[in-house]
Amino acid sequence: MEGFLKNIKDADHAWVTCPVPQWLIWVVCQSSCRTNRVPLVAALTTICDDILPLFIEKYPNDTRLTTAVEKARALIAGTGTLQDLQQACKTAQVVVNELRGQPLAPVAMAITSLAMWAVPLPTENTNPRKLITADKFQQPVDTCEHAAIARLTILNEPKKRSFARYCDIIRANIPQPKPPT
């Protein structure tokens, strides 16, 4: 990481070359998420789509985590309800508790973090497109971290490779934030 920080030329270069999805999320939450969280939720659902097959392979008849991802996607698309997502979030948390200490637990934790963050805060007047404060980025960070841990634990994939994959997903879903002027 030190080499990355030393070689940053400007904000554009940093956005394109950043190797850590958590840093990209922080930048996004400092800027565009203040008015529109949809692109980040879309990126996080894509990240969860990446690890969901790990759970489905072992539990093909258990749709609880799939439902949580689908309900988050539906809410930001305007086709789902807040109540459906809240219920899916609670159900995903049950899966986290059931899998605690098992290799698949990080999959459930990543998806639960996504579902929790996609639910608007009470101060947001239940509008999923708004995020009032930029300090509410822990769950998106947790989604990436747990997803990378899942790929490491189950697929033996180095975190660096997962992080590169998730940075690409974030950049593909979110326009580069403009630096403050």
Condensed to tens digits (0 to 9), the pLDDT of residues 21-63 reads 988 888 887 776 656 778 888 999 999 999 999 999 999 999 9
- What whole-number distance in Å separates Cα of residue 136 and Cα of residue 148? 21
- Asked if residue 126 belongs to a domain, the reply is yes
- Asked if residue 179 belongs to a domain, the reply is no
38-58 vs 21-30: helix crossing angle, rounded to 10: 150
Q: Each residue of 117-176: pLDDT tens digit?
A: 887 655 444 454 443 343 456 788 889 899 999 999 999 999 999 999 999 999 999 888
Structural domain boundaries, residue 123: 21-173
- Asked if residue 132 belongs to a domain, the reply is yes
- CB count, 10 Å around CB of 5? 8
Query: Residues 6 or more apart from 22 whose CB is under 8 A from it?
Result: 141, 144, 145
Q: Please give the pLDDT value at position 167.
A: 94
Pinpoint the alpha helices (H) of 2-37: 2-6, 11-17, 21-30
- Asked if residue 74 belongs to a domain, the reply is yes
Rounded alpha-carbon distances, angstroms, from residue 144 to 139, 163, 164: 9, 8, 11
DSSP letter for 128, please. Answer: T
Q: Each residue of 86-110: pLDDT tens digit?
A: 999 999 999 999 999 999 999 999 9
- Asked if residue 80 belongs to a domain, the reply is yes
Q: Would you state the torsion angle of the CA atoms of residues 22, 139, 79, 66, taken in this order, to the nearest 10 degrees?
A: 90
Query: Residues 6 or more apart from 96 whose CB is under 8 A from it?
Result: 105, 108, 109, 112
Work out how many domains the chain is built from and give that number.
1
Question: Is the pLDDT reported for residue 15 higher than 90?
Answer: no
- Asked if residue 3 belongs to a domain, the reply is no
Structure tokens at 78: 């305007």
- Asked if residue 5 belongs to a domain, the reply is no
Rounded alpha-carbon distances, angstroms, from residue 77 to 16, 31, 39, 104, 115: 27, 21, 11, 28, 14
- Asked if residue 117 belongs to a domain, the reply is yes
pTM: predicted TM-score of the whole model, two decimal places: 0.84
Q: Please give the pLDDT value at position 32.
A: 60
Q: Please give the pLDDT value at position 151.
A: 93
Question: Is the pLDDT reported for residue 180 higher than 80?
Answer: no
- What whole-number distance in Å separates Cα of residue 173 and Cα of residue 176? 10
